[in-house]
Amino acid sequence: MNRRQFLALATLTGLSAACGSSGRPATPAPPAFRTELRIPPLLEPRTARDGTRHFALKIQRGRTELLPGKPTETWGFNGPHLGPTIRAARGDRVRMSVTNRLAEASTVHWHGMRLPARMDGGPHQMIEPGGTWTPHWTIDQPAATSWYHPHPHGETAGHVYRGLAGMFIIDDGDTPELPGEYGVDDVPLILQDRDQAGDADVLGGTFGILGDRMLVNGTYAPFMTVRAERVRFRVLNGSNARRYNLVFGDGRRFHVVGNDAGLLAAPVEVEQVSLSPGERAEVVVTFSAGEQVLLRTVSGGDDIDEGDFDLLKLVAAERLTPSPALPSRLAAPEAIVVPANARVRRFRLNGHDAINGKEMDMSRIDEVVPAGATEIWEVENTVYAHNFHIHEVAFQVLDVDGQKPPPYATGHKDTVYVPPKSTVRLAVRFGGFTDPVTPYMYHCHLLRHEDSGMMGQFVIVEPGTEDRVSRTIAH
Ligand code: C2O
Ligand code: CU
């Protein structure tokens, strides 16, 4: 009997999966869900005379009792843990000021944002202790749920695990029919796992952290009072390595309305949604007055999604505000069409520290892409579970081992799960910001893998100048 069959049998017979073949501890007894879910505050911008919206972030240290009775050192933006939600609309000019109050250098990367490479916040835009970085750009992309987190090469896993992560919501002319009142019926859910032993080794083992305690928005065993008939959840997998297979305790069906980089063409009804690290989904769930239901994650049969855990208890009020029906069409960004002569690039994920046999090298440009190109990127995975994230772009998944992705994952994305021993093909649309000397990154978003070298660099250049671009970066 393999592990999956064992778990299936254990579930059927009501046995607890006390001793899986991995030797990991059993799934813990369900906690009481008595702490109210924290909602990250919205970050108020200051609007300058010329209309630019200024957002101020301070990276700081703090102490937080993330797990009961275990206060621990945490890092956060403008607070001791996690960061405020940034919200801006298409067409907004934004200017960030990011001050680093840590004792070590860090960066802030705007994951999912389409912007010039110098503003991207990757490993080439380090902010020294005491320093302030002020990137600015114009938001020009469809409505989406994106996020921000540090990206210092070799240190990202530790910086994110300590708490440096926040959401970045992009609005675009809004779809009024979708629930949209922040914190009421439009609710961010940042999913992260913690190792309750407390001294988690973020770079240990094959995958780094696979914790045994679940946090939502930094809250352990949270409940949320539901006050509207329909709630839109913006779910972000902000974990170092864990993959979530989200279901409701009563098996209810719900609708996915958006992927990482935009809305779907129409809501897709599902009973489960899977998210690997860095991925997002927008889902709409319908409630009846007075009911209670658990949001859970269940084992998926891979190393990075072992274990069943309850995440969040949803408690519907005795009276719910009526919500409009779900629209049958959504404001999806247009499909990415691959031209017949599209360039195909191949990426082989080797072990857990290299792509195409090469470890990340900050001074090497791996790929040169002409501005505005649409290409096919083919990602082949040899052994372990991985995923793949590309900065700056939006892509659509063409196929996974020749099979179409599930309907709920056919929208615009920037991060995709790559199962062991499989090949994922992506239709990738690159933007128009050119800079031959500042690269964007592509990498596995399991942070231990990213840190140990499963990452590469590409530049976007003026079409026709590809051959003239230097393949090394001077520091
Ligand atoms: Cu979310 Cu290169 O990162
Ligand atoms: Cu990986």
Which ligand is in closest contact with the Cα of 241? 2
pLDDT one-digit tens code per residue, 440-472: 999 999 999 999 999 999 999 999 999 999 999
**pLDDT bracket for residue 116 (50, 70, 90):** very high
Q: Report CA(407)–ligand 2 centroid distance (Å).
A: 24
Whether pLDDT at 168 is above 50? yes
The pLDDT of residue 202 is 76
Q: Which of 108, 128, 216 is nearest to 168 (CA)?
A: 108
Q: What is the DSSP string of 74-141?
A: EEEESSSSB-PBEEEETT-EEEEEEEE-SSS-B--EEET----GGGS-STTS-B-TT-EE--EEE--S
The pLDDT of residue 12 is 41
Q: Report CA(364)–ligand 1 centroid distance (Å).
A: 18
pLDDT one-digit tens code per residue, 81-91: 999 999 999 99
- Length of the chain measured in residues: 475
> Which numbered atom of ligand 1 lies nearest the CA of 441?
2
Task: Tell me which CATH homologous superfamily contains domain 46-171.
Answer: Cupredoxins -  blue copper proteins (2.60.40.420)
The residue ranges of DSSP E strands in 202-308, in sequence order, are 213-216, 219-220, 222-228, 230-237, 244-248, 254-259, 262-270, 273-275, 280-286, 292-297
Which ligand is in closest contact with the Cα of 442? 1
> Which numbered atom of ligand 1 lies nearest the CA of 455?
2
Which ligand is in closest contact with the Cα of 278? 1
The pLDDT of residue 197 is 79
The pLDDT of residue 8 is 43
Q: Which of 369, 424, 378, 416 is nearest to 394 (CA)?
A: 416
> Which numbered atom of ligand 1 lies nearest the CA of 391?
2
Instruction: State the average pLDDT for the chain.
Output: 93
Decide: 31 and 24 in contact? Cβ < 8 Å: no
The pLDDT of residue 203 is 76
**pLDDT bracket for residue 111 (50, 70, 90):** very high
Q: Report CA(443)–ligand 1 centroid distance (Å).
A: 8
- What CATH architecture applies to the domain 177-321? Sandwich (2.60)
Q: Report CA(352)–ligand 2 centroid distance (Å).
A: 6
Q: Where are the domains of the chain?
A: 46-171, 177-321, 344-465
Q: Which of 268, 230, 272, 233 is nearest to 249 (CA)?
A: 272
- What CATH architecture applies to the domain 344-465? Sandwich (2.60)
Q: Report CA(344)–ligand 2 centroid distance (Å).
A: 22
Q: How many CA atoms lie within 13 A of 285 on its CB side?
A: 31
Place of tokens 């680093």: 100
- In this chain, the answer to whether the domains covering 46-171 and 177-321 adopt an identical fold is yes
> Which numbered atom of ligand 1 lies nearest the CA of 442?
2
Place of tokens 């200051």: 46
Whether pLDDT at 139 is above 80? yes
Decide: 27 and 17 in contact? Cβ < 8 Å: yes
Global confidence as pTM:
0.93
> Which numbered atom of ligand 1 lies nearest the CA of 147?
1
Q: To 5 degrees, how large is the angle CA 367–CA 157–CA 201? A: 135
Average pLDDT over residues 365-379: 98
Q: How many CA atoms lie within 13 A of 221 on its CB side?
A: 13
Which ligand is in closest contact with the Cα of 347? 2
Nearest CA to ligand 1 atom 1: 111
Q: Residue 414 and residue 453: Cα distance in Å, rounded?
A: 19
The pLDDT of residue 6 is 42
Q: Who lines ligand 1 at CB under 6 A?
A: 109, 111, 149, 151, 278, 389, 391, 441, 443, 445
The torsion defined by the Cα of 46, 91, 441 and 57, in degrees rounded to 10, comes to 10
> Which numbered atom of ligand 1 lies nearest the CA of 415?
1
The pLDDT of residue 29 is 60
* 44 Cβ contact list (under 8 Å, min separation 6): none
Whether pLDDT at 11 is above 60? no
pLDDT one-digit tens code per residue, 280-331: 999 999 999 999 999 999 999 999 999 999 999 999 999 999 999 999 999 9
The pLDDT of residue 245 is 98
Q: Residue 61 and residue 78: Cα distance in Å, rounded?
A: 10
pLDDT one-digit tens code per residue, 97-110: 999 999 999 999 99
Whether pLDDT at 147 is above 60? yes
Q: Report CA(199)–ligand 2 centroid distance (Å).
A: 22
Q: Report CA(351)–ligand 2 centroid distance (Å).
A: 8
